[in-house]
Amino acid sequence: MSTEAPINLLLHDIQYQVTETAWGTWRRFVYPNGQLFQEFTSHRAWAGLPLVHYTQGKCPETGKRIIAHGVIAIGRFARGLIAIGQASIGLIAIGQLGVGLLFGLGQAATGAVCIGQLALGMFFGVGQIATGYIAVGQIAVGTYVWAQMGWGDHVWDSRNVNAVAQDFFLRLVGK
């Protein structure tokens, strides 16, 4: 076991491995303990955002994670038109926490249309707990609701079968 004090990388100039490709630039750094930091930024951009921005690991200059932001953003934290990450925000968001304007997919998701364990939809929500104009879930709240236990104007659940809700959902699934 070494008795040397660990090196504080925040006090040193970081020597990244930079690789230029036809698509963009990779910036990588391997910590002394083997952990990897890498970031890809595409050469192409749209509306001031890189077409693709990908991040992984903690930046050795700051010791923090970099938020991926681009048209397509991929990282633990992502923000973009299409955002994929543990916590993601965008028009389309996919992640453990997916906050989407149009579509959200994740353990907790929001959006006009969303799917998740907790799905807070404006138009359509499917999840264990779901909301939306059309809501389908174990527990659901909306105008048209299909659930184990639901609340709304037209509810089909284990306690009650509303004829309007039954007709709506049967037509929705093609029966």
CA–CA gap between residue 111 and residue 162 (Å, rounded): 27
What is the rounded distance in angstroms from the CA atom of residue 11 to the CA atom of residue 59? 13
70-118 tens-digit pLDDT: 999 999 999 999 999 999 999 999 999 999 999 999 999 999 999 999 9
Residue 2: the pLDDT is 54
Structure confidence at residue 70 (pLDDT): 97
pLDDT for 32 equals 87
What pLDDT is stored for residue 93 in this prediction?
A: 97
Q: Is the pLDDT of residue 9 over 90?
A: no
In the numeric block, which tokens belong to residue 151? 């609340």
Q: What pLDDT, on the 0 to 100 scale, is given for residue 10?
A: 58
The larger pLDDT score, comparing residue 3 to residue 116, is at 116
Q: Please count the other Cβ atoms lying within 10 Å of the Cβ belonging to residue 127.
A: 25
Domain boundaries, the chain: 1-85
- For the chain, the average pLDDT equals 92
Q: How do residues 25-57 score in pLDDT, each as one tens digit?
A: 999 999 888 899 999 999 999 999 999 999 999
Residue identified by tokens 């991929």 is 74
**What mean pLDDT do residues 128-149 have?**
97
For position 61, what pLDDT does the model report?
Answer: 87
